A and B are shown apart, each in its own frame.
Chain A
């Protein structure tokens, strides 16, 4: 039984660096996906949704990857604090942006856009 435990421990120490690196890379990739969304979506409010991919899954996966590679439990505590602050502040800043735009009178584009709405292609001309 102790043999299995040491084997598991050894495997974990070998595996956690590549695993953490891969998770960080995946998070970075999702940040890029969010950026693509920001560039493609038609108006301010929809762009906010694309940016929230970067805020949530992108940032979470990067933090998770760093946690897998953490050399010490103190680093884990700091990463966990970061996660907590990120959860509370990124949503608040998104809401502040949306609320400011709404208060300033920016009207969101409502209804089907692109492939979902055919009349949109005709409107694109002018």
Chain B
């Protein structure tokens, strides 16, 4: 029920932010489309923890600013690599073990790795991620430990967090 409420609030906020027309006719259409969307989501059975991650919103909201900073830092490294007169990259492929339990946390972790320039998640198998990196020195498994820990804290249920 909480998930349904979360999706409902998110859709209403999305409509309000995108429309800008608040006449009764338009609001009626809005109500109709919101109900239709909820019915369709219920039929698809996607009203669950994954479909409505709004319970973890506080954790994720604290995580993304940190990720933004990491993105800015590694952007600078890759920009320098792009513009250096002589290429000096040393690509590497490593296996990274994650402590994330749920799929949502794993996806957040893999997505964060891919989002930071210089590292791309190539494959996920169970709790191991295959990561391709631009610099060998930046792509050791230890480099991802903090990100892994923060992802687990942000997206895993509170009980299972290490």
A49 to B119, CA, bound (A): 7
Chain B interface residue count, Cβ-Cβ cutoff 8 angstroms: 39
Distance between B69 CB and nearest chain A CB, rounded to angstroms: 12
- Which of B1-9, B13-21, B26-34, B142-150 lies on the face that meets chain A? B13-21
A43 to B72, CA, bound (A): 24
Residues of A within 8 A of B37 (CB): none
Contact A111 B82 (CB under 8 A): no
Contact A113 B91 (CB under 8 A): yes
Contact A110 B92 (CB under 8 A): yes
Contact B132 A115 (CB under 8 A): no
Q: A74-B20, A91-B111 are in contact. Are A48 and B120 (CB under 8 A)?
A: yes
A10 to B123, CA, bound (A): 52
Interface 0/1 of A1-18, CB less than 8 Å to B: 000000000000000000
Contact A56 B75 (CB under 8 A): yes
A90 to B83, CA, bound (A): 23
Q: A57-B71, A81-B14 are in contact. Are A114 and B86 (CB under 8 A)?
A: yes
Contact B17 A53 (CB under 8 A): no
Does B115 have its Cβ within 8 Å of any Cβ on chain A? Answer: yes
A112 to B72, CA, bound (A): 24
Does B122 have its Cβ within 8 Å of any Cβ on chain A? Answer: yes
Distance between B128 CB and nearest chain A CB, rounded to angstroms: 14
Distance between A40 CB and nearest chain B CB, rounded to angstroms: 6
Distance between A91 CB and nearest chain B CB, rounded to angstroms: 4
Contact B118 A49 (CB under 8 A): yes
Distance between A99 CB and nearest chain B CB, rounded to angstroms: 6
Distance between B126 CB and nearest chain A CB, rounded to angstroms: 15
Interface 0/1 of B74-86, CB less than 8 Å to A: 0100110111101
Contact B121 A53 (CB under 8 A): no
Q: Which of B86-121 contact A (CB under 8 A)?
A: 86-93, 110-112, 114-121
18 interchain pairs, CB-CB under 8 A: A37-B78, A45-B122, A46-B91, A52-B115, A52-B118, A55-B115, A74-B18, A74-B20, A81-B17, A87-B111, A95-B114, A98-B121, A110-B93, A111-B90, A112-B90, A113-B89, A115-B84, A115-B86
Across chains A and B, which 9 residue pairs bring their CB atoms closest together, nearest first? Answer: A114-B87, A37-B82, A77-B17, A115-B86, A91-B114, A115-B88, A112-B90, A116-B88, A52-B117
